[in-house]
Amino acid sequence: MNNIFVYIEMEGGKVADVSLELLTKGRELATTLGVKLEAVVLGHNLAGIETELAKYGADTVWVADDPLFSPFRTLPHTAVLCGLIGQEKPQIALFGATPVGRDFAPRVSSALHSGLTADCTQLEIGDHKDAKTGTEYKNLLYQIRPAFGGNIIATIVNPDHRPQMATVREGVMRKEYAAQPGAGEVKAIDWKKMVTDADLAVKIIDRQIEERKIDIKGAGIIVAGGYGMGSKENFRLVHELADVLGGEVGASRAAVDAGFTEHARQVGQTGVTVRPKLYIACGISGQIQHTAGMDQSSMVISINSDPEAPINKIADYAITGDVNEIIPKMIKYYKQNSK
């Protein structure tokens, strides 16, 4: 009762990185609350999965292992998780904000009338006092995310309904082994009493899966261009600088919307979240929609004609000037001094 659930998403027989990130954060939250961290896995051929999940702090691993659950289908997954939550009554349930999680979590939330905060960038435990009634609540989940188009950071609480539910995008939380591994106790879910014939109405006939051609999530160096690059032709300078540095190319949403580059390179709230060792922001103003996806970079260098640009507030080094003049000088200097 009142433990923390983390839904474990499987990709090609492996645990998705976002699920391990959520276990890392879940371990922190569970320790603060003094409760158990419980992983929930629905899939097939799951023998031994508890070993990996225990390393990230899972005390209990709930398992439904059957061909019925692989690949993912919304209805049977929803039925089983709703049944398990009704049985165990966790106080918090966390999901990855992936295509699966964005389909799955809202259905579970709707069925349980629990409420759900999507695309959180931070999760914390704290107290809350209702301004109208004066009621005080202890140890609520602070579900923190950008709101109103990214113009503010909102802290959302769910005082009265359980579980408190949130989705988090990949890369937002750190993925680390727990200081003290969890017990990883396996418990089988009695799913057959939870799934009805109606839940099996949809059958998967065929699946077509294409690997990503562009994946910047794990890059150590990212050179990102914004609308300030001016044109698609000028944006090539971003590619040239990334090439000489051995890095990847990223972009702001404004640059993508302007057609300067592909959406797969978009960094930020509606793109990917990255944590490179070096992030060079070229002609990017640095609105919160963008910085939410890169503010955990080890070092940030900004190049912007506006010395008051918001990106400069989080940059370790800020270069003020025309990106189309500065980048060629950087490329030339690096080539001359890297031989």
pLDDT digits (tens, 9 = 90+) for 136-194: 999 999 998 877 666 678 899 999 889 999 999 888 888 999 999 999 999 999 999 99
Please tell me whether 288 is known to bind a ligand: yes
For residue 163, is the peptide bond before it cis, meaning its omega torsion is within 30 degrees of 0?
yes
DSSP, collapsed to helix, strand or coil, labels residue 223 as: strand
DSSP, collapsed to helix, strand or coil, labels residue 318 as: strand
Please tell me whether 287 is known to bind a ligand: yes
4-200: what fold? Rossmann fold (3.40.50)
Please tell me whether 336 is known to bind a ligand: no
Q: Compute the distance between CA of residue 195 and CA of residue 215 in angstroms, rounded to an integer.
A: 37
Length of the chain in residues, anyone?
A: 339
Say what angle helices 74-88 and 99-112 make with each other, to 10 degrees: 50
Please, where in the chain does CATH 3.40.50.620 lie?
Answer: 4-200
What percent of the chain has pLDDT above 90?
Answer: 72
| Single-letter amino acid, residue 93 | A
Please tell me whether 286 is known to bind a ligand: yes
- Residue 183, CB half-sphere, CA atoms under 13 Å: how many? 9
pLDDT tier at 226, thresholds 50, 70, 90: very high
> Is the confidence at residue 242, as pLDDT, over 70?
yes
38 in Cβ contact with 110 (< 8 Å): no
DSSP state of 264: G
Of 41-55, 77-91, 135-149, 302-316, the least confident: 135-149
Which class is domain 221-337? alpha beta
Tens of pLDDT, residue by residue over 108-128, are 999 999 989 998 888 999 999
Q: Compute the distance between CA of residue 219 and CA of residue 221 in angstroms, rounded to an integer.
A: 6
> Is the confidence at residue 339, as pLDDT, over 70?
no
Please tell me whether 289 is known to bind a ligand: yes
Integer CA distances (angstroms), 228 to 255, 302, 309, in order? 8, 12, 11
Pick from 28, 61, 14: which is nearest to 178 by CA? Answer: 28
46 in Cβ contact with 12 (< 8 Å): no
Mean pLDDT, all residues of the chain: 91
Please tell me whether 268 is known to bind a ligand: yes
Please tell me whether 153 is known to bind a ligand: no
Pairing outcome for strands 152-156 and 136-147? antiparallel
pLDDT at 168: 92
Please tell me whether 290 is known to bind a ligand: yes
pLDDT at 187: 95
Please, where in the chain does CATH 3.40.50.1220 lie?
Answer: 221-337
Q: Compute the distance between CA of residue 136 and CA of residue 159 in angstroms, rounded to an integer.
A: 9
Tens of pLDDT, residue by residue over 247-291, are 999 999 999 999 999 999 999 888 888 989 999 999 999 888 898
Compute the average pLDDT of residues 57-68.
94
Please tell me whether 2 is known to bind a ligand: no
Please tell me whether 180 is known to bind a ligand: no
185 in Cβ contact with 61 (< 8 Å): yes
Tens of pLDDT, residue by residue over 316-334, are 999 999 999 999 999 998 8
